[in-house]
Chains A and B, each alone.
Chain A
Amino acid sequence: MTTLAPTTATTEQEVAEFRRAHQRLGDAVEVAVRGKRSVVDLVLVATFARGHVLVEDLPGTGKTTLARALARALGGEMHRVQFTPDLLPSDVTGTSVFDPRDGQVRFRPGPVFAHVVLADEINRAAAKTQSALLEVMEEHTVSVDGTAHPVPEPFTVIATQNPIDLDGTYRLPEAQLDRFMVRTSLGFPDLEHELEVLRPGSTAGRIDDVPVVSDPGEMARLSAVVERLHVADPILTYARQVGVAIREDRRVRLGASTRGLRSLVRAVQAYAASCGRHYAIPDDVRRLAEPVLAHRTVLTREAVLEGHTAIGVVQAALDDVAPPQPDRV
């Protein structure tokens, strides 16, 4: 089976290489995070699509371990920022300090200058500190004293937040939620994997045992492969129809923005490549609609009181919109 696609489109050989790398990274992360391969794959998809991940789950489910294992497997530099109410924006982005040795004012980079940034319990920081992440997440640069300082590439923010014990927390604003490509949760492992974690001598949770299987250069190259992956017009139309159906749902106050739909398409590209395909299919949209669009969907007060959820709204949209059929495109 040969490929005669134009040179601008991702080839099947490139996809095969991508899939091997994706598999390799997933296996490496699974050394520390057991039984959550689908979540690991989703996080990897977001990483390859140059997106950021919000992991929302209860304490002790492995959120931080996932972020640290991913950072180690990627082989890049990883910084962790523990968000607290007294954390200042400059504590995240860095600041200019006076160097008495030579009398110069120098920029001292903050923890965001890394390939993988773990923003732990991001909702515990004040709004202005959370906002400090806005520019760097979108622009991949930090502006201090009028000077823009680029962060290293690839750059991925993996933020975690605790959905309970919300006293003294600051809910993430919609603008910032929109900057996370996917929101996911780990959940508790099943019996088999939890016993494995509990068994003495298990490597679960031991970041040092996670092998380094990639490097930032390979990540950047594979991200470029993802960007060129072919998405047919019917798939784009389908993705937009799903987004429009969510926006037009009477239970929705704010639906996915165009940036949100663009994130969906990028995630679809990475997911298709992770499945070994050099083209996207409607199932890719269905698979990623919930993690990409649900956290961008804000329900009306009445809908919330009636017990509706954003995930339910997304699912309803997927059920309402007919996907493109191969014989009718």
Chain B
Amino acid sequence: MRTTSGTWTIVWAGALLVLGGLSLATAWSGPVPALCLAGAAVVPLAIGRAVLRLGISAWATAAVLVSLLVLGAYVLAADAGSSFSDTVTDAVPRLLTTARPLPVRADLLVGPLLLTALVSLLVAIRLTSDRRVAPVVGALVLYVAGTLLTAGEGDPRGLLASLLVACTLLGWVVLDEHRHRTARRTALAAVLALSATGLLAASTTLAWSRPFEPRTLVDPPTVDVVASNPLAHLGAWTSDPDRLLLEVAGPVQPLRLVTLDTYDGAGWTTGTRYQPVGEVTYDDSRPLLGTSPRTSTVRVEMVDIEGRWLPSPGWPTAVSDPDAVVEPTSGNLYLPSSDGIVRTGTSTSTRDLTYSVTAVADSPDERRLASATVPSRADLAPYLALPPLPQPLAAFAERSVTDAVTPYDRAVAIETLLHDRARLSPTAVSGSQLWRIGTFLLAERGTPGARVGTAEQFATSFAIMARHNGLPTRVVVGFRPDADARAGAGGWSVRGRHATAWPEVYFDELGWVPFTPTDERPPQRSDEETIKRGRGEDPGPGPDADDRESGTGKVDDPATPPTSERTDGPVVPAALVVGALLAILALLLAARRIRSWRHLRDGAVGAWAEGRDALRLAGMPVAAHQTADQVATMAGERLGTDAVHVLAAEAQRAAFAPPGTTVGEVMPALHDVRRCARRAVPGWRRWWWRFDPSVFLR
């Protein structure tokens, strides 16, 4: 490719950079970032080449254009509302801690635009050399940056990568001025294209169980939320059964307001460290879920509800409100007040707020419940933690599961016991303290609070007894639809009577299974959200057949869980490793062949370069201060051939003699040198001769 950069070369370079920039643009949704990045890829290249053609030095061009780029970034950063230095230095952490797809904001666009423009400028400057590596490297840099930014989701099928390879090879085949080698270049390009296609196909058809996620390397910004749990509101909500709390569009299913996992004897708490939604992806397995979760999306309008928690159908993975934060362990969704929660009117609550949320929740197979086991992993320890129980309460908990055999039997036994033993009343004394639970369960009838309680006492009692019997349990405060709610197609109105709390027990592979210890049972136990059990039906969040037919929401096919563990065994990784090694060898071989062809087309001087490569491969690297004759003398003595002298003499004749001097045939001498040099390599290492990339270091 020893040629000047013509117009087509610039077009080719621009196309490569645009493809690389599009890889970055996949982190956003919408055309604006793509157009901006394409412009950043093309404009500096075009301006840089135009200025260089005027005869202005590359350094001056680079200095001026870099200054202009920095100025442009400064102006853009000013729109972002932060200082220029903060915007630039925090660009990468900000990009890696903002939910995907990234919103179109100036502070998020500055970094990628600056990177793309600088790469474009460098390509414009390096395009003056006799090699066209710069555009390929530049496009590769942008593509890799985009891939890292999107964790590979931006180009899941390798389309952009294929286009990059195709464009690179096309430029190499078409733009090279040495037409007499076109056939060989085309053949090599075909081999390279085939290798790249095979590699891409292998990498896209064989899904990776855990792709590299650069976001794990960055600590996301966190918000400490110290707020009491909404259990205290249950009584108020349920005492006014027709009070409209929420309007929900989407699948009719239970909505979780808060998931509580820590019980200290005085009450329930949960994690206080929240972070923006999308920081921790679902694939990170941070949320404790089973192997068959489902994804659903609902649109919620906060009509009249206290607090700043945002209801969600499960562990939220995306929320339309960019200010929402999530507690990564429990999945509690919260809208902090620091940056203004008021969206309409002047209210200081979340009233009238409307948002869409996509979440994942367990969808356990009820047929496997009877034989399900309970894991004893360390990460489940918080769900088994209990304060020291009063002896009567502990004995009561133990007696409640006397006849139960399996973990599920124990949970059902506790649930049934609570059904039969207590009565649900919205006016009952609230509280989750141990004394309140003791009274609720053990006090004689007639005692205030005995055998009567709100959903809070039912759920807490279940959780205490279950944990005491070794079942990992948590309590969920939320809203559960009833028959009336299901009647509304495409959504439902959440009213006070739907507010409740229910316990959930974690089973191996099945995930969190809801139970309903309250005595308030829906008229029909075949609700979508309930799970049919051996002895009856219990309401709770579960699979919802009707949800799949809902017009506004969506439910993913549970048959393809995103976190299901792959059982491909060692064959697939081994095949990938072997394929990668073969691809690397093919690339090395191609690179070496290209190097050799480029050498040999330059005649005697190229033959000398090829001879030097052979000497290096034979362990005789040429020092910088050695002349060709010195090299020939050294190599001739070690290899035992005079061919290297012939090669050096003809190369120097070609290089230093006056123009028009004819040069003798060098190929026989080169073949002799190659043969002798290869013979000097130990036999076990000769196979590496054709692939050894060390020649590129000289």
Chain A interface residues toward B at CB < 8 A: 1-6, 9, 230, 232, 234-235, 277-283, 286, 318-327, 329
Contact = CB atoms under 8 A, between A and B. Distances in A.
Contact of A5 (B609, B625, B651, B659): B659
Contacts of B655: 232, 234, 324, 326-327, 329
Contacts of A6: 658-660
Interface string B634-654: 000000000000001001111
B606 A327 contact: yes
Contacts of A2: 662
Contacts of B626: 323
B630 interface: yes
B71 interface: no
B660 A232 contact: no
Contacts of B612: 325, 327
Interface string B410-427: 000000000000000000
Contacts, number: 86
Contact of A319 (B625, B654, B656): B625
Contact of B651 (A230, A277, A327): A327
Contacts of B658: 5-6, 9, 230, 278-279
> Chain A binding site: helix, strand, loop or mixed by DSSP?
loop
A252 to B, nearest CB: 19
Contact of A235 (B625, B628, B651, B656): B656
B627 A286 contact: yes
Contact of B629 (A5, A283, A329): A283
A11 to B, nearest CB: 9
29 contacts: A3-B660, A4-B662, A5-B659, A5-B660, A9-B658, A230-B656, A232-B656, A232-B657, A234-B655, A234-B656, A235-B656, A279-B657, A280-B656, A281-B629, A281-B656, A282-B628, A283-B627, A283-B629, A321-B625, A323-B625, A323-B626, A324-B656, A325-B608, A325-B628, A326-B628, A326-B654, A326-B655, A326-B656, A327-B599
Which residue of A1, A232, A327 has the most chain B CB atoms within 10 A of its CB atom? Answer: A327
Contacts of A323: 625-627
Contacts of B648: 326
B661 interface: yes
Given A1-B664, A230-B658, A279-B656, A326 B604 contact: yes
A79 to B, nearest CB: 39
B653 A279 contact: yes
Contacts of A277: 657
Contacts of B624: 322
A321 B660 CA distance: 29
A5 B661 contact: yes
A255 B652 CA distance: 29
Contact of A326 (B630, B652, B662, B664): B652
Contacts of A283: 627-630
Interface in B579-624: 599, 602, 604-606, 608-609, 612, 624
A311 B651 CA distance: 30
Nearest to A285: B627
Contacts of B652: 281, 326
Nearest to A272: B656
Given A281-B629, A321-B625, 5 more contacts: A3-B661, A279-B657, A279-B661, A327-B609, A329-B656
Nearest to B650: A326
Nearest to B626: A323
B625 A318 contact: yes
Contacts of A4: 660-662
A154 B662 CA distance: 34
When A and B form their complex, which 8 residue pairs have the shortest distance between CB atoms, in order from nearest? A4-B660, A327-B609, A326-B651, A326-B655, A230-B658, A279-B657, A322-B624, A5-B658
Nearest to A10: B658
A274 to B, nearest CB: 15
Which residue of A1, A283, A324, A325 has the most chain B CB atoms within 10 A of its CB atom? Answer: A325
Nearest to B632: A283
A2 B661 CA distance: 7
A281 B630 CA distance: 12
B696 to A, nearest CB: 14
